Chains A and B, each alone.
Chain A
């Protein structure tokens, strides 16, 4: 039986060393197993804080088994794309114990060591079991070839990617993408279409200032290159079976991608619900996909598209912040709402809809949970 209180106390004592703790851990691991180094990016700064975050989460949830198990299973599945193999788990366990021992000083006793060993073995077994079960279902990652790359705005590109093998996913989900020019850096992007017969995936990539992966993906040199795509993840999807309520979709900038995939899915339904899509950007040329949306609106009588611009009052259509525009357009409380876009816009949008009387279970946003990049 694990002494949970003792583990927590021991962790609190070593945690005050801050970044030194993961720094020691990874150096210890790489010296003992140099071959593991190549599974990690050049800069380890983000990696170190991920490790500490995961440890903090595990230690704080160690007595609520269900939550912790789900977290660890996700972590185990997620690590397949990084190339983590079963033998790596032993190496990681040994370095973790060495790190704890190093920073515990005189507090490190054989009993404590045994507790930590048992705790890590439990963690490792849950993760590897989930990874093994996942192996039966899908590859660790998909090979994706960029077959088309179109620059729609000065900072937005639309990529068309063909995967091998074909990937199955729910519209609204996203995948982590690794570009060959930025090895070991994975960033999440949503598919902007429902699964198609030809297996093509559409991605909307916005250039983030200094964003290593977005810079590689929006570069013109991305055409014909091979990307790696992790497994589809995320819960910004239509309920199954469909709720029967009409839909309100609120998309800021490239947050359009998952919502466009949902429109794509609705188009295939026998009885499509009415769909109101708000598409907002700071300036008019940020409405990078409006042509395509207006074509869809002309084709589907159940779809209404309202563009809005927040930073240019001369725009001929709706102007103002997207949550304001949505609120001005009426009472949405009877609909299912899906929001995606900049964090601040989504937070404000959710708050406005909730205060206007929309029930919490009708409001859908992406919750990356364990798979947050």
Chain B
């Protein structure tokens, strides 16, 4: 009856758009970014499918009108063809399909909305958790710093304040120690001076006794040499 366009073998099909690949440009050469090209191909594909479908329904419309004309010429009732059982069914299918697509869109919208809400809630939760973590890290850090400070100042702190009685007792003790030390030093000095005096006395007597023994000069020399060596040390 009519020629089908589907038989035209060399025509481009939507599938070819989906599967087409292009060679990559050589490294360093200029070329298109892949993703925008793929995106454009997807758009062209969708448009292509739409056009194919439109053409199919137009073809069916032509067929229907043609049948109507033939029926009219044959003396039949063209209205029966126009609103024939088959046509009514196809119309019903179209109406239901449109309604279904509308329902699908509502569901998809609702799902996308719920997805967005959950995703936002999840991100918000992550934010709150991160803030809380940072806050707790900060608190911990601060507590550590305070503890460190307290420990250091405890080491440097003056002795705890004393009562008056304690202070008086300490001062009395100090006075006693000072007096004792003075007395002890006086004793020590007197004793040391006594010892020194004894040594001088002994040296003088020794020198006098050596001069009395004059004949032992040679012997004395050698002792003297030793004595020099000894004294130089």
**Closest B residue, CB atoms, query A17:** B53
User: Cβ of B114 < 8 Å from any Cβ of A?
Assistant: yes
- Quick check: is A30 within 8 A (CB to CB) of the other chain? yes
Known: A16-B14, A23-B97. A44 touches B104 (CB 8 A): yes
**Interface status of A112 (Cβ within 8 A of chain B):** no
Interface contact B115-A106, CB-CB below 8 Å: no
List residues of chain A with CB within 8 A of the CB of B119: 209-210
The 8 A CB mask of B80-122 against A (1 = contact, 0 = none) is 0000000001101110110011011001100110111011001
Given A43-B103, A43-B107, A107:B6 Cβ within 8 A:
yes
The answer for the CA separation of A154 and B2 in the assembled complex, in Å, is 64
Tell me if A103 is interfacial: C-beta within 8 Å of chain B.
Answer: yes
Let me know if B59 is at the binding interface, CB within 8 A. yes
Question: In whole angstroms, what is the CA distance A111 to B151 when docked?
Answer: 99
> When the two chains form their complex, are residues A210 and B56 in contact, meaning their CB atoms are under 8 A apart?
no
The answer to whether B97 touches A107 (Cβ under 8 A) is: no
What does DSSP make chain A's interface, helix, strand, loop or mixed?
Answer: helix
**Which of B4, B53, B111, B112 interacts with A105 by CB under 8 Å?**
B4
A105 to B60, CA, bound (A): 8
Q: Is A13 in contact with chain B by the CB < 8 A criterion?
A: yes
Q: How many angstroms between the C-alpha atoms of A42 and B99 in the bound complex? A: 11
Interface assignment of A24: CB less than 8 Å from any CB of chain B:
yes
Is B192 interfacial (CB-CB < 8 Å)? Answer: no
A215: Cβ under 8 A from any B Cβ:
yes
Contact digits for A206-230, partner B, Cβ 8 Å, 1 yes 0 no: 0101101001000000000000000
What A residues does B56 contact at CB under 8 A? Answer: 17, 20, 103, 105
Complex contact B103–A42 (CB within 8 A): yes
CB pair A210 B114 closer than 8 Å: yes
Residues of B within 8 A of A366 (CB): none
Q: Is the CB of A45 within 8 A of B114?
A: no
Q: In the complex, A15 Cα to B96 Cα: how many Å?
A: 21
Size band of the interface chain A makes with B:
20 to 34
Across-interface contacts of A44 in B (CB, < 8 A): 100, 103-104
**Given A210-B111, A210-B112, residue A16 in contact with residue B104 (CB < 8 A):** no
- Bound-state Cα–Cα, A106 to B49, Å: 19
**Contact indicator per residue, chain A 2-30, by CB within 8 Å of chain B (1) or not (0):** 00000000000101111110011011101
Residue of A nearest to B4 (CB): A106
**Docked-complex contact A30 and B96, CB < 8 angstroms:** yes
Verify B59–A105 contact, CB threshold 8 A: yes
Which residues in A have their C-beta under 8 angstroms from that of B122?
Answer: 155, 209
Tell me which residues across on chain B come within 8 A of A13, comparing CB atoms. 6
Residues of A within 8 A of B112 (CB): 210
For the complex, is B125 an interface residue (Cβ under 8 Å from A)? yes
Considering the complex, which residues of chain B in the window 1-46 have a beta carbon less than 8 Å from any beta carbon of chain A?
A: 1-4, 6, 13-15
For residue A122, CB closer than 8 A to chain B, the reply is no
Query: B52 within 8 Å of A by Cβ?
Result: yes
Partner pick for B49 among A18, A105, A207, CB 8 A cutoff: A18
The 10 closest A-B pairs by CB, nearest first: A210-B115, A43-B107, A27-B96, A27-B93, A18-B49, A209-B118, A27-B97, A45-B104, A23-B97, A209-B115
- Can you identify 30 A-B contacts, CB atoms within 8 angstroms? A13-B6, A16-B49, A17-B49, A18-B49, A19-B49, A20-B49, A26-B100, A27-B94, A27-B96, A27-B100, A28-B89, A30-B96, A31-B89, A31-B93, A42-B103, A43-B104, A44-B100, A44-B103, A45-B108, A105-B4, A106-B1, A106-B4, A154-B125, A155-B122, A209-B115, A209-B118, A210-B111, A210-B116, A212-B111, A215-B114
